[in-house]
Amino acid sequence: MRYRVLGPSGIQVGELALGTMTFGTAWEWGADKAECGRMLEAFVEAGGNFVDTGCNYTDGESETIVGELLDGRRDRFVVATKYTLTLDRSDPNAGGNHSKSLRRAVEQSLRRLRTDYIDLLWLHMWDRTAAIENVMYALDVQVRAGKVLEVGFSDTPAWVVAEAIRVAERYGLCRPVGVQAPYNVAWRDIERELLPMVAAHNLAALTWDALGGGVLTGKYSPGNKEQRRYGDSPVSVRHATVAQVVRELAGQAGATPAQVSLAWGLCRRSEGWNLIPLLGARSETQLRDNLGALNVQLGPEARRRLDEAAGFELGFPRSFLEDKEMLDLIHAEFRHVLDF
C-alpha cells in the first residue's frame, strides 16, 4: 500500500482506509469481534493504518471493538470517528452539530476507543441549524484541549466546508483537513462541486460506498425484491448497467468486480483529487478481496468505458462554463493557448 497525506495536516495515511460500520452485531448484519480482528490484521498486513468509525456505528459496538483491537498499539494507527447523530432519541440535544452534542460524543468516543485523543473527528452530517462560526469554535475547543488532533466534514455541502475554512482562517481556529462523501463509478455527484472544492483547498476526500452497496460486485440485480441493499431502494437500471460493465472488465483483467470498482476510485486521483476509498467489508475474505485492488491496473480504454458507463453529466454550472462555445465567448482565440 502507498501512502497519502491527509490534506494539509501532514499526517500520512494508507491509500485505502478501513471502514468499521460493519464492526459489531447490534444491527444484525455486521461481524463479531473475532472476525473484526481478522479483518484488522489483514488490513495491517497490507500496510493499512487509517481506521474510520463513528459514535453511532452498531450502537457503539464499533468504537468499543476498535478500541479493544488497538489496545497496546493505538499510536501506530490514525483513528477517525464522528459526531452528530443522536445518542439518545428522548433528548433533543443528544444529536446535532452544536457544542453540547459535540462534547458528549467526544467524551463517549474517547472512553470506548480506550484513548486520550482522536486523530480525526468528522462532523458526520450537516444539520443546517448550528451557525458555522459556533461549530468551528466548538471544534477548536476540542483541538486545543488535545482531545482531537484534526477535524473534517462528512456528508456536507461544498459551500459549507468552504465557509468553515474561511471562518477558521479568519479567526485562527482549527482548519478542516478533509471531507467524507459517497463516490463510486455509478454515483459521481461529488464531482460537480465537492471535489473541485477539495482540490482548491488541498483537502483529502475519504470516499464511502465504493461498491455501490454491493451492487457493483454483481451481488444484486434489478427486479429482485428480495435483494436489497441496507438502507437503500431496489437496484436501479443505471446501477445494474454499470455493474455489467464492471463485471466484463473484471473478467478481462483477471480480477473481481470489487477490485475493479476500487481500482477505478484509486486511479481518479489523476484528476487532482486526493481520494482515499473506504473499505467496508463484513468478513476477512471480503476484505482481502478488496485489498487486491491495489494490484489492479486499469488501462485508458477500461477507464474510458467505466467513466462513460453511468452517463454522468456535470450539469449547470460546470457543463455550461466548460462548454467550448462559452469558453470562446470569454477567451476568443486565446482559449487554445490558455492553460487552466
Residue positions annotated with a catalytic role:
57
DSSP type of residue 191: G
Is the alpha carbon torsion for 131, 201, 109, 279 positive or negative?
Answer: positive
Tell me the C-alpha distance between 258 and 199, whole Å: 26
Cα–Cα distance measured from residue 322 to residue 311, given in angstroms and rounded to the nearest whole number? 17
Separation of alpha carbons 276 and 15, rounded Å: 5
| Burial annotation 262-293 (CB, 10 A radius, 16+ → b, else e) | bbbbbbbeeeebbbbbbbbbbebebbbbbbbb
Q: If DSSP codes are grouped into helix, strand and coil, which group holds residue 249?
A: helix
β 12-14/17-19 pair status: unpaired
The residue written with cell numbers 488535545 in the block is 146
Angle, alpha carbons 265-270-275 (nearest 5°): 45
